[in-house]
Structure formats: C-alpha cells, structure tokens
A and B are shown apart, each in its own frame.
Chain A
Amino acid sequence: MTVQRTLLSLLPGESAFIDKLDVGISTCKLLNLGVLPKTKVTMVRKAPFGGAYYIKLDGHQLAVRTEEAATIILENQI
C-alpha cells in the first residue's frame, strides 16, 4: 500500500500534478476554482500566521486553508 501524498507535503517552490480530490464538502468549490485532476499545482508560500497556503495553478492563484489543502491528493512522481 502506498501512502497518499497531499498538497501539504509540498515545500514552497515545489510543484506536482494533482491526482484526485478526497470527496467532501469542499470538493465542488475546489473544482469550481480550477483545482482539477491532472493539473499542475505549485506551492508558493505559507500564510504569515499559518493556517493557509498560497498556491498557483494553470495561470491563476488561490489561497486554501490547511484542511482544504489536505483533500488535494497528488500524483506520486514529480
């Protein structure tokens, strides 16, 4: 069994491809905002007081909370 890697495992500046989303209350909203499987996501930085992340997708930027980022599952190879 392989361990699932989430967005939270990325260090600032690192990128990866999204594998899938853990279906929950935030899933639809993430999809609406372009957080889609097979899309490249870059971790830009952590919020000054923590709790949220600045991420970059195909040509646009989003802020997500820790618990929201935890539902974004990444593909294994970078």
Chain B
Amino acid sequence: MKTSKLNIALLGNPNSGKSSLFNHLTGLRQHVSNFPGVTVDKKSGTIFLENGVEANIIDFPGTYSVYPNSSEEKIVINILTDKTNDNYPDLVVYVADATQLERHLLFATQIIDLGLPMIFVLNMIDLISEQGDILDIKPLEKYLGVKVIPVSVRNNEHLDSLTHEISAASQQIKGLEIPIKYVFTDVENFVATRIQKSLSTTSLYTAKVIAHHYKWLNHLDEDQKNKIKTITEQSAFNDLNLQVRETMDRYNHFAPVVRETIKVAKREKKSLTDKIDDIITHRFWGPIIFFAIMFLMFQSIYSWSSVPMDLIETGFAEIGNLLTNSLPAGWWTDLLVNGLLAGLGGVLVFVPQIAVLFLLISLLEESGYMSRAVYMFDIVMRKFGMNGRSMVALISSGACAIPAIMSTRTISDPKERLITILVSPLISCSARLPVYAVLVGFVVADTDVLGIFNMQGLVFMGLYLLGIVGALVSALVFKAILKSENNSFLMIELPNYKPPIWKNVFLTVKEKVTSFVVEAGKIIVLISIALWFLASYGPGNDLEEATTNAQNISIEKQLSDQDRDNLIASYKIEASYIGHLGQWIEPAIKPLGFDWKMGIAILTSFAAREVFVGTMATIYSIGSDNDEQTLRQKMASEKRPGTEINVYNPATSLSLLVFYVFAMQCMSTLAIVKRETNTWKWPIIQFIFMSVLAYVGSFIVYQLMT
C-alpha cells in the first residue's frame, strides 16, 4: 500500500554528492532502516515544502545505470520498475556531478525513459568555475526536457532555489509526457511491446528493462516470469549485447549535448589529485603510508577512547554503589544493579570506540582515500575472499570487533562482506588484553632472550599472530564454502581528493552510535540479565546452604568482615546455576586442562572477555576489587586437589590463552552481527565455528605439552 505522503527519491551515481544533499535537506530529521528483506541501508527523512506540505525523501543507494552490478543497485531497479512498491517515487531528484556530466547522464536519461518525473540537480558547479570551464544549462535542459538546477552542496550555493523547485514540481506532478529518448531496435520493440501488453506497464522502456532483469525482479510472479521468458526466448532477445548497444547509443546521443553544456578549459598536465596519488598509491610508499594511517587510527581508538570508557565504567560502578546503598536489599535491587545497570554499562562502554572509529573512517571515506586502499589491496584480500575495505575492518578489530563489523556496510559484495564479518572477531581485541596479562606469566617467566626480546612479549606477539592466522585461514575456508550470487568486480572510481564535509562525518558517527545502542543494546541488556540470573540463583537451597557454610567457616577461622564477604561470594557463585554448569561441563573441558573453576570463568566471559578476571577473583574469594597482582599470586599457589601440581602450569595456561584467542566470548559482537546480517543464522554459525576452533586449538596445545 502506498502512503498518501509524497515520495521523493534522491537518485544518482556514487560520488555525485547525493548523500550530502540528503543531509542538507533533512538534517537531523533522518533515520536509517533496511529495505524490506535485505540489509541495504534505506536512509529516509522528512522535508517541508514551501506550501507547508511534508514530503518523504529517500536517499537511494548510488547507482550507475538500470543494468546493475551490485545487490544495492538491484534494489533500486526493483523499486523503479514496480509502481506498486511502497518506495516508488512520485518525484525523482537526480544528482549529477557537473565535472563528470557525461557519465552521470546515462542513468538520468534512463530514469526519464522509465516515465518518472524528474528535477535534475547539477552539483559541484564550484569546481566547474574553479577549473575555468564555462557552464550553460540551456542545451542540457532542452535535451533532457526537465528542469536543471546548478548547485554546489559543499558551498551551499543555490540550494534555496532547489527547495523552491521541488515544491513547485511536487504540486503539478502529472504534467508533461516526455517522449522516450532511446531508439529501440526491432527486437527490443517487439519484446517490449508484448511485455507491456502482458503486464500493462505504462512505459515501453520499463517493459524493456523488465525483459533484461525478469529473472531476479521480485515483484513478478512465476507465471509472469514464464511468460516473459517465452517472449524473450522466441525473439532471440540478447540480454548482454542489447545492454551494451543501449548504453553506447545513449552516450552517442548526449555526448554533443555535454560539449555544448560545459565548455572545457585547457587542463593543467597534472591535477592535485594526480600529484597526491603519485605518492599515496605509489607501489612502494603506498602500502607503507596505508599502514602508517592504520597504525595512527588504531592508536587513536585506544588512546582517545580510554578516558571516556573509564569514565563510563566508573560512573556506572558509582551509580551501582549508590543504588545498592540507598535501596533496600532484595532481589530486585540486585537485578537493577547487577543485571540491568551492568548491561547498560556494557552497552555504553563501547560508544567511545565506535564514535572514534567512525569519525576516522568517514574522514577517509569522504576524502576519497578509502577507494585507494581498495585498489592497493584488492589482489591480497581477494585471495582470502575479501575486499580492500576488509583490510580496514580487520585492523580496527585489533581495538574492537564491534565498530569493525559495523564498518563493513560499505563493502558492496555480500559474500566479501559476510566473510569479513565472520572472521573479524578472531583478531585479538583490547578486551583480550587483561586475560592475556593475567595468564601469560604462568606460561613463561619474565626473562630476556638473546638480550633484546622479552619472553612474555614474544608469547603476547604469538597470541596476536595466532589470531591473525586464524582469521585468514577461516576466511579461506568460508571463501570455498560460501556461494556468491554476484560476479566479482574491482572497477572502482578513484574520485578526486576533496576536503570532507563535516556535516556528513558528524551524521555518520551519530547514526552508527545510535544504531548500536538501540539495536545491539536491546540484545546485550537481555543477555546480561540472563547471565545475572544464572549467577545469582541456584537449584534448590544450594545458595542458602553455601552461604551458611561460608559463614560457619569464617567464624571458625575468625575471618575479617571483608574476607567473610569474599568467601561467601566464592561459595555462592559455586552453588549458582552457572557454577553448576561449570562443574557439569568439566568432563568436556578436562582434555583441555581446565577445571570447573575455569569452566565458570569461560561461561561468564560470554558477557565480555575481560569478565574472566573479575570472575576468577570472585571464585578465589579475593574480592573482585583487588588488583591483578593479588589474583596472580592466588592463582599461582593453587594446587590440583591432592597433588603438588600447579593448577596454572604452563600447559593449562597456554591452552587457556589459546582458547581466549579463538573463542567467541562477546555477546555484544554476536548482537551486532545479528543486526548487520539481519538474521540469527550467521551469529550462530560464527559462535559454533569459533568455539570449535577454540576447543580444538586448546586440545592440541594441552595434549602436546603434557
């Protein structure tokens, strides 16, 4: 069903400045959703026309022509050939880059032939005058038969007249009929006429586009598809050749118009972009500069976000203490503080990292650097079934997999994007560091080798390398297993370098943060409440008995209040559901060298990996507020029951470390994978394959070392 509100579509090629115009028109009155059934961003917003009427404006994915090469473009064509679609536009605002007018005219003339009313926005006219070219829109207007408005979104030029024209056009939408520009061949004419009759489409050109794409157009039913199949096959309708013929024919027709519209001045031999690219995409310096930029990005995520992250963590801890002390003790105070509040804190703590990463990524994206990275690393990443952009995601995963996975939206090939999402969490993130720090001392001593290397440092590096190798090998496996619908292409524009538009950067950061907090936040809070329940309750009166036991022991041993509370906490977690679960899985994790206490820590780590340290502290009854040093001493003195063997011997410790390298112990990552893939299927598969990897890896390490 179509809503009564007017639908305005922003259409145009990638890099036309379409999204900047969208941000200008809607400002904060925009929101992001998905097109039905697919994970392609649908950005829509409200604009107010001059007569006070509200209109709905949709920023469609950038599209080159009605002959699509990506799943994003296919969505656009699906909608434009289906008048009954909710998103079918009443008016098209087409955005074209004036400096690339010829290429950008192709899709515009096709949209006009589809019978859609259009306003043609000629963007970036500031660059035209900068280059000394002379612009005259009359020939273009005459050729297109629609209103042409020259603007510069970047410099805010003529945007008022655009709003005025949109208002005027929206009032008299069903006006003039523009004759179809494309001259059909006999075959095309024959096929299109018959399809037009069969489907009763209004435009003959729409019928031709349907003839090309009927196989994947989702608004056609099987019966219609069969009819079209018969029609095209009978008349030897050659899909590929006719696409090429039409494209060439259109170019031939408007090439002279472009020459009349823009009188090109003599160019300097080397543009600024050429000079920058001589260095930045240099065969030797290019990759070095890339890794330098990535290193800076990685450092910034760490350093810029650590202060706000600490503030959020201590802030939530303070609020928790305040509530515990001021509210009457009871299960619901506990739920509020240790379930709900802890969950909220667990969501918000990621916000600084997400904000910093997207600030930097959108700067790289806006300036034009990102497509250079794609070009330089295409061959390398393609071997692993990924894309040049995956490189950026994988490196960001070294700080945190969540923003990294969110950044894969710009990878247009679904298979390459999926593989990147699936393997990113294998790169060791900052949450694994505390675990590594506690355990590494049990594997090797803090000694130097060859005078320069520190043994523990080497183990650290080995763990990071293990994660990287794990990610790349898994990528190879997924590359072989997963099927791809699209043909793989590189063919990417390397746009001229431009200073970023800050409004776009700001809106990207805001959108990413909101979507994480709202979409993934729901799941994270639910899981942390479930974990709270499992750790706070136990079967029967186990918990009460454990508390009494601990109290008796404390009286017997004359423990201080603090030590008594720690002992009670330790006994309670052992008696809780999660404690029982830990003991129940002990036979399964024994071959890895783990006991049930580690089992409990592994289970609670599902909330987040760093929880391992806190849980261990609770289990060894030293109180979770103590520092790592105390915990390490306690762990070091632990003996296996009835023996003199250290529990944290090198074999067990290394096995546990390898487990933490591979295991998917982060509910927030799973929540964001669910959000980004729009199904539970992939997070579940990811959880299983990473768990198997962790189990097998630890098994091998432990069995080899004992």
Give the interface of A toward B (CB within 8 A): 21, 23-34, 36-37, 44-52, 54, 56, 58-65, 68
- Measured between beta carbons, the chain A residues less than 8 angstroms from B380 are 49
**Closest partner residue, chain B, to A34 (CB atom):** B103
- Measured between beta carbons, the chain A residues less than 8 angstroms from B490 are 52, 63-65, 68
If over half of B's interface residues share one DSSP class (helix, strand or loop), that class is named, otherwise mixed; here it is helix
Identify which of B22-30, B61-69, B639-647 touches chain A.
Answer: B61-69
Contact A32 B247 (CB under 8 A): yes
Contact B379 A62 (CB under 8 A): no
A31-B251, A63-B492 given; name 16 further pairs at CB < 8 Å.
Answer: A21-B244, A25-B487, A26-B489, A28-B65, A32-B106, A33-B491, A34-B100, A45-B281, A49-B380, A52-B375, A52-B379, A60-B495, A60-B496, A61-B494, A62-B494, A65-B490
**In the complex, B267 has a CB within 8 A of chain A:** yes
**Closest partner residue, chain B, to A65 (CB atom):** B490
19 pairs of residues in contact across A and B, judged by CB atoms under 8 Å? A23-B244, A25-B240, A28-B240, A29-B491, A31-B247, A32-B64, A32-B67, A33-B64, A34-B100, A34-B103, A48-B286, A48-B376, A49-B380, A52-B490, A56-B274, A61-B496, A62-B491, A62-B494, A68-B490
A17 CA / B390 CA spacing, docked (Å): 34
A28 CA / B251 CA spacing, docked (Å): 12
- Measured between beta carbons, the chain A residues less than 8 angstroms from B379 are 47, 49-52
A61 CA / B495 CA spacing, docked (Å): 7
**In the complex, B464 has a CB within 8 A of chain A:** no
A58 CA / B489 CA spacing, docked (Å): 22
Contact B103 A63 (CB under 8 A): no
- Measured between beta carbons, the chain A residues less than 8 angstroms from B99 are 59
- Measured between beta carbons, the chain A residues less than 8 angstroms from B241 are 23
Q: Which of A24, A51, A60, A64 counts the most B-chain CB atoms under 10 A from its CB?
A: A60
- Measured between beta carbons, the chain B residues less than 8 angstroms from A61 are 273, 277, 493-496
**Closest partner residue, chain A, to B374 (CB atom):** A63
**Closest partner residue, chain A, to B487 (CB atom):** A25
In whole Å, how far is A71's beta carbon from the nearest beta carbon of chain B? 11
A66 CA / B258 CA spacing, docked (Å): 31
Contact A51 B378 (CB under 8 A): yes
Contact A26 B491 (CB under 8 A): yes
In whole Å, how far is B346's beta carbon from the nearest beta carbon of chain A? 40
One of A31, A48, A63 near B283 (C-beta < 8 A): A48
Contact A59 B491 (CB under 8 A): no
A47 CA / B283 CA spacing, docked (Å): 6
- Measured between beta carbons, the chain A residues less than 8 angstroms from B282 are 45, 48
Please report which residues of chain B, range 506-543, place their CB below 8 angstroms from some CB of chain A when the two chains form the complex: none
A72 CA / B27 CA spacing, docked (Å): 43
One of A52, A59, A65 near B100 (C-beta < 8 A): A59
Closest 5 CB pairs of A and B: A51-B379, A32-B64, A63-B375, A61-B494, A65-B490
**Closest partner residue, chain A, to B375 (CB atom):** A63
Contact A31 B244 (CB under 8 A): yes
Contact B378 A29 (CB under 8 A): no
- Measured between beta carbons, the chain B residues less than 8 angstroms from A59 are 99-100, 267
**Closest partner residue, chain A, to B251 (CB atom):** A36
- Measured between beta carbons, the chain B residues less than 8 angstroms from A46 are 283
- Measured between beta carbons, the chain B residues less than 8 angstroms from A52 are 375, 378-379, 490
**Closest partner residue, chain B, to A63 (CB atom):** B375
A62 CA / B491 CA spacing, docked (Å): 7
Q: Which of B103, B378, B379, B490 counts the most A-chain CB atoms under 10 A from its CB?
A: B490
A60 CA / B101 CA spacing, docked (Å): 11
In whole Å, how far is A36's beta carbon from the nearest beta carbon of chain B? 6
A64 CA / B491 CA spacing, docked (Å): 5
**Closest partner residue, chain B, to A67 (CB atom):** B490
A34 CA / B393 CA spacing, docked (Å): 30
Q: Which of B274, B374, B376 counts the most A-chain CB atoms under 10 A from its CB?
A: B376
In whole Å, how far is A15's beta carbon from the nearest beta carbon of chain B? 12
In whole Å, how far is B509's beta carbon from the nearest beta carbon of chain A? 28
CB within 8 Å for A34 and B492 given contacts A47-B378, A50-B379, A51-B378: no
Contact A28 B247 (CB under 8 A): yes
A8 CA / B507 CA spacing, docked (Å): 42
Contact B378 A32 (CB under 8 A): no
Please report which residues of chain B, range 268-322, place their CB below 8 angstroms from some CB of chain A when the two chains form the complex: 273-274, 277, 281-284, 286-287
- Measured between beta carbons, the chain B residues less than 8 angstroms from A29 are 64, 69, 489, 491
- Measured between beta carbons, the chain B residues less than 8 angstroms from A44 are 277
A62 CA / B247 CA spacing, docked (Å): 19
- Measured between beta carbons, the chain A residues less than 8 angstroms from B194 are none
A54 CA / B279 CA spacing, docked (Å): 13
- Measured between beta carbons, the chain B residues less than 8 angstroms from A23 are 240-241, 244
- Measured between beta carbons, the chain B residues less than 8 angstroms from A63 are 371, 374-375, 378, 490-492, 494
In whole Å, how far is B135's beta carbon from the nearest beta carbon of chain A? 15
**In the complex, B628 has a CB within 8 A of chain A:** no
In whole Å, how far is B126's beta carbon from the nearest beta carbon of chain A? 16
**Closest partner residue, chain A, to B255 (CB atom):** A36
- Measured between beta carbons, the chain B residues less than 8 angstroms from A26 are 487, 489, 491
- Measured between beta carbons, the chain B residues less than 8 angstroms from A34 are 100, 102-103
Contact A28 B243 (CB under 8 A): yes
**In the complex, B377 has a CB within 8 A of chain A:** yes
A51 CA / B243 CA spacing, docked (Å): 27
Please report which residues of chain B, range 362-395, place their CB below 8 angstroms from some CB of chain A when the two chains form the complex: 371, 374-380, 382
**In the complex, B688 has a CB within 8 A of chain A:** no
**In the complex, B559 has a CB within 8 A of chain A:** no
In whole Å, how far is B591's beta carbon from the nearest beta carbon of chain A? 42
- Measured between beta carbons, the chain B residues less than 8 angstroms from A48 are 281-284, 286-287, 376
In whole Å, how far is A18's beta carbon from the nearest beta carbon of chain B? 12
**In the complex, B248 has a CB within 8 A of chain A:** yes
Contact A65 B65 (CB under 8 A): no
A71 CA / B286 CA spacing, docked (Å): 27
- Measured between beta carbons, the chain A residues less than 8 angstroms from B273 are 61
- Measured between beta carbons, the chain B residues less than 8 angstroms from A58 are 102
In whole Å, how far is A47's beta carbon from the nearest beta carbon of chain B? 6
**Closest partner residue, chain A, to B243 (CB atom):** A28
A21 CA / B247 CA spacing, docked (Å): 13
